[in-house]
Structure 1
């Protein structure tokens, strides 16, 4: 994970249209490998929708995007192979019933499954176990999570983690497969100002090591590439949310000419369900 290998992220008039109108459209972006990109906007403005579209987990209907040279929407499966999801509410959440160690082992097992099970089975069991532990250790270091500082160490329950610790754990699991693009939803949710600064510092360090990072937030810090959602002239978020659910993807999103300005929390629940449905259609998270 030390050598630069991030994905270039480009979009040109990227959009999605549902039965009642545009969910998002006109998205334009040109970010180099190793960039830190913020999708900024209020809750319910379409941020998760845009994140899922750019990671190959939601099919756009207008324009195109290109992730590490893979063109969307045609090559969604190829994009999913190079883009990993960190925490996405209702889609890719941590299992609250597991311990931290169990969650990490599960992530390593799933990663081995997708690496190529036949080749993996030919390696000695001890070598496989050592390789998995090495990946876990490297991912934890990159995510800045020291298990020894947790109340019960690796046996700490996921449900007992502080919000920032949970973010770090999710990031570590996403990094196990050494993705070229790391995407996180609601980065600054329930974080204090100090914790928010720590979270962005973490993402800067990951981007500096070569991985391109895409993070949804309510307010982006200085020095990052920003895509903003929620244009004032757009349709009410209630209608935009319905459009997003009836199309293939998640929530109402926008960048440039976009849909969705309302910030009511009840609408966020509906869009999260839509995101879950979109992910189920496209397969691997």
Structure 2
């Protein structure tokens, strides 16, 4: 009972000060500053291409920031990227952690539980009898499915339903359930309200709010944040021509600091102090590696080794 209680997630506080990430096309985001206590629902809102996903991945240790500082659960970024990855989990993030449309719901859940046991289990776990290990894995699955509000019996074919046959909200619930199997301290979800009706959007936010209320800090990218979330707004670098800007700021929260940042120039060539055009995850990683000497690239990688990659994506 005591050991099980110790495994339960407790939210990671997030402290960000002047955070910025730059790629070959310019700044994806810059001068982001905010504070979020454990169990906070943080909503990163803004138009597509304004650096929302890059910020999400940087806060979970998957991309390396170029300026400023951040701490997640007391772990400094970018110095402790690998450690932050171990206490955080990705829900749906296109191109990074996606569901396999050919897999069934049961296959996804079973595979994630197996990988969780394989890469994050203690030695004591492997000394258990096979029946005890199976029971523990089933308990984790049931706990995560319940927390995600995924009603397996309501699916067309129950657990045997293929991902391709899931509605958008059901797929979102499944991706969150998979992330929660690892009992993370921070849950990150991209496109939380994408292609959802008003009713489904309200359900999605109710789900993320319930996860946060249970103690896990939640960071979600969206087009429009709910009023009760800590709102971090990113602006499109080309939205305000002739003086385009990219900025992010904290809004509507007692935890927010004085402001999240000043706009950048938006020059793709990177001239001036505030150049800002959103870069992509892959291109940013290449730029980071190019800037460092050979043999010193471990902290620039988005995933460290097969263990991290398998634990995140459920795929080799």
Output the TM-score relative to the length of structure 1.
Answer: 0.84
Note the aligned Cα RMSD (angstroms): 2.8
Runs of 5+ consecutive residues of structure 1 not aligned to the other structure: 241-251, 262-269
Larger radius of gyration: 2
Correspondence for 2:26 among 3, 6, 21: 21
Correspondence for 2:280 among 260, 271, 277: 271
1:112 partnered with 2:117: yes
Instruction: Report the secondary structure of 1:26's partner residue.
Output: strand
- Kindly tell me: are residues 110 and 91 of structure 1, through their superposed partners in 2, closer, same or farther at Cα, counting changes over 3 Å? same
Runs of 5+ consecutive residues of structure 2 not aligned to the other structure: 250-260, 267-278, 289-299
Correspondence for 1:92 among 90, 97, 121: 97
Output the TM-score relative to the length of structure 2.
Answer: 0.76
- How far the C-alpha of 1:220 sits from its partner, in A, is 0.4
Are the counterparts in 2 of residues 5 and 180 from structure 1 also a CA contact under 8 Å?
Answer: yes
- Other-structure match for 1:221: 226
1:147 partnered with 2:152: yes
- Other-structure match for 1:48: 53
| Structure 1 runs, 4 residues or longer, greater than 4 Å off | 1-4, 231-236, 252-255, 258-261, 272-280
Are the counterparts in 2 of residues 86 and 92 from structure 1 also a CA contact under 8 Å?
Answer: yes
Are the counterparts in 1 of residues 144 and 178 from structure 2 also a CA contact under 8 Å?
Answer: yes
Count of residues in correspondence between the two structures: 264
Matched residues in 2 for 1:190 and 1:59: separation? 29
Are the counterparts in 1 of residues 64 and 285 from structure 2 also a CA contact under 8 Å?
Answer: no
Correspondence for 2:303 among 275, 282, 285: 282
Instruction: Report the secondary structure of 1:282's partner residue.
Output: coil
- Other-structure match for 2:43: 38
Matched residues in 2 for 1:112 and 1:39: separation? 32
Which stretch shifts more, 106-115 or 274-283? 274-283
- Other-structure match for 1:199: 204
Matched residues in 1 for 2:265 and 2:143: separation? 39
Instruction: Report the secondary structure of 1:80's partner residue.
Output: helix
Are the counterparts in 1 of residues 44 and 220 from structure 2 also a CA contact under 8 Å?
Answer: yes
Matched residues in 2 for 1:274 and 1:163: separation? 29
Matched residues in 1 for 2:187 and 2:83: separation? 15
1:162 partnered with 2:183: no
Correspondence for 2:15 among 10, 16, 39: 10
- Kindly tell me: are residues 258 and 196 of structure 1, through their superposed partners in 2, closer, same or farther at Cα, counting changes over 3 Å? farther
